Amino acid sequence: MMHEEEEVLIHCLYFTASRFARNITKLAEDTFNFDGIAPSHLYMIMTVKFHPGITQKELCYKLSIAPSTSTRFIDKLERQKLVTRKPEGKQTFISLTDKGEKLYVEFRKALKQLFSSYSEVLGKEFSEDLSKTLHEASNKLESKS
């Protein structure tokens, strides 16, 4: 028999999603061991890889982050010589350096390892379905705001 507290938590997407996010974040941090480069920075590198010369504004939109956050991320990645900025007029275009390209390749390997880690526990099909469902839910919630 389920306790009232557990029942409330199971039916609250906020608490359930937060708990899941903490668990998957810990797994990701354990998997992505890249000398102090946070998983969020790695996703920025991947986005720049897929969109060479992307503007900072487009990057913010694609990653759902504030301009001030993107500036901090880009500053850090630039200091680590992983990205370059090319200002043109009011726009700034961001691209990967050779070092950034190499890190991207390592990151993709780590992503496969991360998928293997949680798929072992959750099952491959469930993992793929959950990821797709969460992606769709995020898109719907973002389009509403």
The 10s digit of each residue's pLDDT in 33-60 is: 887 788 889 999 999 999 999 999 999 9
pLDDT band at 12 (very low <50, low <70, confident <90, very high): confident
In sequence order, the β-bridge partners of residue 85 are 94
Q: Look at the alpha carbons of 115, 118, 121, 123 in this order and tell me if their dihedral is positive or negative.
A: negative
pLDDT in tens, 77-124: 999 999 999 989 989 899 999 999 999 999 999 999 999 999 999 999
Instruction: Give the pLDDT of residue 123.
Output: 96
pLDDT band at 2 (very low <50, low <70, confident <90, very high): low
Q: For residue 20, is pLDDT > 70?
A: yes
- Cα–Cα dist 103/41, whole Å: 11
- Cα–Cα dist 48/67, whole Å: 16
In sequence order, the β-bridge partners of residue 86 are 93
- Cα–Cα dist 100/84, whole Å: 9
Q: Which residue has the higher pLDDT, 47 or 6?
A: 47
pLDDT band at 145 (very low <50, low <70, confident <90, very high): low
Nearest to 95, CA basis, from 104, 86, 108, 107: 86
Question: In the structure encoding, which two tokens stand for residue 134, read together?
Answer: 């969460």
Question: Average pLDDT of 61-70?
Answer: 90
Instruction: Give the pLDDT of residue 22.
Output: 94
Domains and CATH numbers, the chain: 36-144 (1.10.10.10)
- Cα–Cα dist 20/63, whole Å: 20
pLDDT band at 1 (very low <50, low <70, confident <90, very high): low
Q: For residue 9, is pLDDT > 80?
A: no
